Structure 1
């Protein structure tokens, strides 16, 4: 897309929703890993999401590109699919076996910092300014305060270093896919979200079979519900919202959701699992909100002026 990003009230609502949904995904993934090995967790997520999205897309007549794509655009579509689903899902599921959930949360927040220089050169209307950089750094400081020392605590796993690299690799995949997604030609958002999951499934399935063999049987209705939730809510529905945000408001704005994810992860853990709330929560939330406000001051000002 050659037009500058357009940030609206709906854009803010969508990233707030994504923050809540993805904030609870780490907790659900930990549960799913009790029933399936990591690559099969990723494949189950993508497979169920692909089925749901395919049904919806078919009922709408299967629209996709507004004009027939060329080879380069098809190649970009395949690359976006691998970087937005297959690889990061597998890397995170594997990495979470060997690192703390705090570290996984910090690695997702780093997406914004990875995106800043990339978007400056590759996405129209996403120039890197001192105000925007200051806002992102303040937000990242808030994430660090929230997680505290737990983020970098040792788990005792032999593969802890590899697990940390895997989480950072997943963050890099998300950053690159957002840039490439924004640069695709005019496309139907539901069609794009569906095709991304279908291509992702074609990659994830053989990867899981080669790495882990046939999947183990799941005879627990509870575990089946956990896998279904992972496929439908944080994968199918959230993938559609992510496409909408990136295509309309831009990848840098989309990256703001990753500052919210650790906050919601902590809050949901306290509400649903009776985990203790860290005393630094309010400080962290203040820094994160300040960072969001500073980095997106122009969009917020236009929003409230119109309101």
Structure 2
């Protein structure tokens, strides 16, 4: 039987770090894409992440299962790895060629709307109620207000409909993956993350080779960006993601998806001198209010400690 979610101060800190790092990732991706094709970027990220996390796993004894009588199956591990990174990285890399960045960002905020009903049926202690539903809807509305009309604008590309479906597919992958990670038997977080990154690399590599051929030698700036993406954004943050889902639950983990667009916009304004949207304050109010409403029980327990 699964343990009930344990949402602590550490849980809130971890989702805050995840939101900030993943929100800043879009800037790093732009730099990396200046010298690396999209599918090779996805494969390279996962490859560097796999090497990094496997090194830590080797130092910790390379243990995966924490209960010899209840081990995850090979198919469970493969599905977890494919849905966590391999398939969504490929879909997003391909889909973003045909949709606006606003639509891509908004589609990530769909993750909580998929997770909530799935968690209701498949995760103990994550039952759907009116307060959670309203809070999640407010958070999504805040992201939509932040992105603005760009989320609905058309690029005019012939494959735009398929590009949008690819982006929604990414959200669906992340949502289902959150449930599968939570439902796994007792596992070592480092070991699980290592297997996820290795599986993701194996899924992405054939697509990169088939569609983009042998990768070019990237310039130093793009290669450094790839290292940052692989080691920090992919290896370290996926380990953190596994820890959050396993301890605090998939619904709590979805709070990250509402933070990412906010940090992306704010950091773009502060670092890249991009214009901050006039709706930023309203969006923040909606998002923070929605998060507080959906996690009201966890917040009240936090301040009682």
Do the structures match in fold with TM over 0.5?
Answer: yes
Q: Residue 237 of structure 2 aligns with which residue?
A: 238
Secondary structure of the equivalent of 2:75?
A: helix
State the alpha-carbon separation in 2 of the partners of residues 236 and 245 from structure 1. 14
State the alpha-carbon separation in 1 of the partners of residues 203 and 12 from structure 2. 32
Alpha-carbon distance, 1:68 to partner: 4.1
Map 1:59-74 to 2 at 5 A.
59-68=59-68, 73-74=73-74
Q: Residue 110 of structure 1 aligns with which residue?
A: 110
Q: Residue 256 of structure 1 aligns with which residue?
A: 255
| Contact in 1 for aligned 2:139/2:287 (Cα 8 Å) | yes
Q: Residue 141 of structure 1 aligns with which residue?
A: 141
TM-score norm. by structure 2 comes to 0.97
Is 1:89 equivalent to 2:95 in the alignment? Answer: no
Q: Residue 101 of structure 1 aligns with which residue?
A: 101
| Contact in 1 for aligned 2:81/2:196 (Cα 8 Å) | yes
State the alpha-carbon separation in 2 of the partners of residues 68 and 41 from structure 1. 37
For each residue in 1:214-243, what CA deviation from the matched residue of structure 2 results, as whole angstroms up to 9, or x when unmatched? Answer: 21221x111111111111111011100000
Secondary structure of the equivalent of 1:24?
A: helix
The range that moved more, 78-87 or 196-205, is: 196-205
Q: Residue 11 of structure 1 aligns with which residue?
A: 11
Q: Residue 45 of structure 1 aligns with which residue?
A: 45
Alpha-carbon distance, 1:73 to partner: 2.5
State the alpha-carbon separation in 2 of the partners of residues 128 and 181 from structure 1. 19
TM-score norm. by structure 1 comes to 0.96
The range that moved more, 198-207 or 183-192, is: 198-207
State the alpha-carbon separation in 2 of the partners of residues 275 and 95 from structure 1. 24
Alpha-carbon distance, 1:159 to partner: 2.1
Q: Residue 176 of structure 2 aligns with which residue?
A: 176
Q: Residue 156 of structure 2 aligns with which residue?
A: 156
**Cα gap change, 1:46 to 1:273, in 2 (>3 Å):** same
State the alpha-carbon separation in 2 of the partners of residues 71 and 138 from structure 1. 39
State the alpha-carbon separation in 2 of the partners of residues 41 and 59 from structure 1. 27
Q: Which runs of 5+ in 1 are unaligned?
A: none
State the alpha-carbon separation in 2 of the partners of residues 157 and 230 from structure 1. 28
Instruction: Give the CA RMSD over aligned residues.
Output: 1.4
Q: Which runs of 5+ in 2 are unaligned?
A: none
State the alpha-carbon separation in 2 of the partners of residues 301 and 187 from structure 1. 30
| Contact in 2 for aligned 1:135/1:295 (Cα 8 Å) | yes
**Cα gap change, 1:43 to 1:87, in 2 (>3 Å):** same
State the alpha-carbon separation in 2 of the partners of residues 67 and 214 from structure 1. 42
Q: Residue 267 of structure 2 aligns with which residue?
A: 268
Is 1:289 equivalent to 2:288 in the alignment? Answer: yes
Alpha-carbon distance, 1:151 to partner: 1.6
State the alpha-carbon separation in 2 of the partners of residues 27 and 21 from structure 1. 11
Q: Residue 32 of structure 2 aligns with which residue?
A: 32
Secondary structure of the equivalent of 1:276?
A: coil
State the alpha-carbon separation in 2 of the partners of residues 212 and 162 from structure 1. 20
Secondary structure of the equivalent of 1:99?
A: coil
**Cα gap change, 1:161 to 1:232, in 2 (>3 Å):** same
Q: How many correspondences in the alignment?
A: 305
The range that moved more, 14-23 or 61-70, is: 61-70
Q: Residue 78 of structure 1 aligns with which residue?
A: 78
